[in-house]
Amino acid sequence: MIDWHWNPTANSSRDPEWLWSLARHNFWPTLARAYAITQDEKYTREFVQQLKDFAASWPVEPHMADVDPHMDFPGDAWRSIEAGIRIYTAWLPAMVYFRRSPSWDADGWVCFLNALHDHAEFLCTHYSNHLRCSNWLTMESSALFQLGVMFPEFKRAPEWQRLAYRRITHEVRYQFDHHGVHMERTPVYHLVAAGAFLQAYRIATRNGIPVPPYMVPILEKSAEYLMLLVKPDLTLPMIGDADRNALLERRSDMALYEGMNLTTDPRDLNELRAFFRTMAELTGREDFWYFATCRQEGVPPAQRNYTLPDAGFHVLRTGWEADDSYMLVTGTALERGENAAHSHFDAAHLELHVAGEDVLIDTGRFVYSNSAWRDWRDYFYSSQAHNTVSVDGHPMGTVPDTSPRIRCVRAFCHRFEPGPDVDIVEVSHNGYAFMEEPIFHLRRVIWFKPGIWLVDDVLTGVGSHTIISPSTFPRGS
């Protein structure tokens, strides 16, 4: 039996993410797939027992009146993000696999349907609405929409559907810029949001529900953005709060727990491959299929080099094959007023992948700030943990009288000049403008092909400062 309130990190990191991850039930699709393959009823019995135990351990009633989510140790199963995630990534996919099993008894079905109703009512009144990170509301809205469409037997299902439909059709445009980049500016949470909206789109179109004319183009551009970031080893750079996401792995996100595998596609466990596959089918694009099949089919993108100056991503490469080289310079700029929880102090960060091998990398997220290891979180978040220039350890973009959760950094791209023999990227930023003695950083990266990079940092300003320029190399030789 699972203790649904237990968090084993009490004597180490005291990380509520552990219990939040447990409450997402991402192991239920694994039970469901095992049942589909073996038809062994023990998997259904285990699922139904866990369902009943969870419902008894975490009834919704004490949480309906809570306006703010509980973010402290040991964790809470009824944050709105968990309520959304488990519905559309675990509960509904598991139902599809188990629904004809004779071991799913009447009591189990009553428990399941009552719990679905509780989740829908909870999600109606617990809408994060950008008060938390933007990705929360994508998952809340997609889950509520799917419940409203798929369970018309409930009296309030039409209202669930109408409410979620309005949220989704507004947010799918609001959260992505014209180039399809999600407002949190990190590829992992970009994929989370795009996947949630894509599921809502597929449910809508299969049920004759109209979608706005901008929905498919935005989803297509969101796939383009991920495509342009893919490195020659078929991984995504760990920009912002990210784990290692790889097209070649069984699962896209290989984190031990709290991984961002937040869609369940019956054809492919790797959600990044599955996303490219679905978008290839939706758009007919052979370059998406190229990544869905890990270069086995389709055609590589016609364009190699991309600059997205507003979002802050500048990518240059020699090609799309495994032994090609790749350079990324960032100046990630959040939407004005956006919660900065998943974006790092990384303006002018440089990432290099040379002849199929990582040379300079981003460190990713490690842990979140709710953990007792907050000092480590602060380090991984800081400019000192990125391949840029750090001045006096100053938190990049800090502005007086502004919440530290708002990241006020803007970069400016002076030059993005690909060439046959030499590529140049030149950016500057305002990250240190509000220091007592301001410093201004301009970085020029010159790539002499095939394998020489010159990094020219120019710092101007006033006063005496401690300046470091860290470099993060991958583990191993």
Q: What is the CATH number of the domain that holds 369?
A: 2.70.98.70
Flag whether pLDDT at 477 surpasses 60.
no
Least confident of 116-125, 216-225, 247-256: 247-256
How confident is the model over 309-318, as a mean pLDDT? 95
Query: In whole angstroms, how far apart are CA 347 and each of 170, 312, 411?
Result: 30, 8, 7
Task: State residue 391 phi and psi, 5-degree precision.
Answer: -115, 115
pLDDT band at 68, cuts 50/70/90? confident
**Is residue 98, in this structure, part of any structural domain at all?**
yes
Neighbours of 312 (CB within 10 A): 28
- Whether 147 and 251 map to the same domain: the answer is yes
- Whether 337 and 243 map to the same domain: the answer is no
- Whether 325 and 276 map to the same domain: the answer is no
pLDDT in tens, 154-177: 999 999 999 999 999 999 999 999
Pair of tokens at residue 235 = 């991984």
**Is residue 76, in this structure, part of any structural domain at all?**
yes
Q: What is the pLDDT of residue 404?
A: 67
How confident is the model over 67-92, as a mean pLDDT? 91
Last residue of a domain, one of 292, 318, 346: 292
Buried b (16+ CB within 10 A) or exposed e, 414-445: eebeeeeeebbbbbbbbbbbebeeebebbbbb
**Is residue 5, in this structure, part of any structural domain at all?**
no
**Is residue 192, in this structure, part of any structural domain at all?**
yes
- Whether 312 and 180 map to the same domain: the answer is no
Flag whether pLDDT at 363 surpasses 60.
yes
Give the C-alpha separation, 116 to 143, whole Å: 10
DSSP SS3 for 144? helix
Give the C-alpha separation, 388 to 358, whole Å: 17
- Whether 206 and 334 map to the same domain: the answer is no
Query: CA angle 8-73-24, nearest 5°?
Result: 70
Give the C-alpha separation, 239 to 432, whole Å: 21
Residue with token string 């480590």: 376
pLDDT in tens, 243-260: 889 999 988 887 765 556
Give the C-alpha separation, 165 to 313, whole Å: 32
**Is residue 476, in this structure, part of any structural domain at all?**
no
Last residue of a domain, one of 292, 320, 354: 292
**Is residue 357, in this structure, part of any structural domain at all?**
yes
Neighbours of 69 (CB within 10 A): 19
**Is residue 1, in this structure, part of any structural domain at all?**
no
- Whether 406 and 440 map to the same domain: the answer is yes
- In the sheet with 452-461, reading across from the earlier edge strand, the strands are 411-417, 422-429, 439-448, 452-461
**Is residue 8, in this structure, part of any structural domain at all?**
no
Neighbours of 233 (CB within 10 A): 16
Pair of tokens at residue 454 = 């010159």
- Whether 250 and 131 map to the same domain: the answer is yes
Torsion sign, CA atoms 328, 333, 334, 339 = positive
- Whether 131 and 224 map to the same domain: the answer is yes
Last residue of a domain, one of 269, 292, 315: 292
- Whether 287 and 317 map to the same domain: the answer is no
Least confident of 39-43, 253-257, 297-301, 440-444: 253-257
Secondary structure letter of residue 413 according to DSSP: E
- Whether 336 and 234 map to the same domain: the answer is no
134, 183 in Cβ contact below 8 A?
yes
- Whether 74 and 125 map to the same domain: the answer is yes
Q: List the CATH number of the domain containing 121.
A: 1.50.10.100
Give the C-alpha separation, 362 to 386, whole Å: 6
Per the structure, the complete domain to which residue 412 belongs is given by 306-468
Residue with token string 């991958």: 474
The residue length of the chain stands at 477
- Whether 330 and 287 map to the same domain: the answer is no
Q: Which of 5, 10, 6, 20 is closest to 368 using CA atoms?
A: 20
Q: How many domains is the chain partitioned into structurally? A: 2
Flag whether pLDDT at 189 surpasses 70.
yes
Query: For residue 424, what is the enclosing H or E element?
Result: strand 422-429
pLDDT band at 368, cuts 50/70/90? confident
Give the C-alpha separation, 370 to 17, whole Å: 8
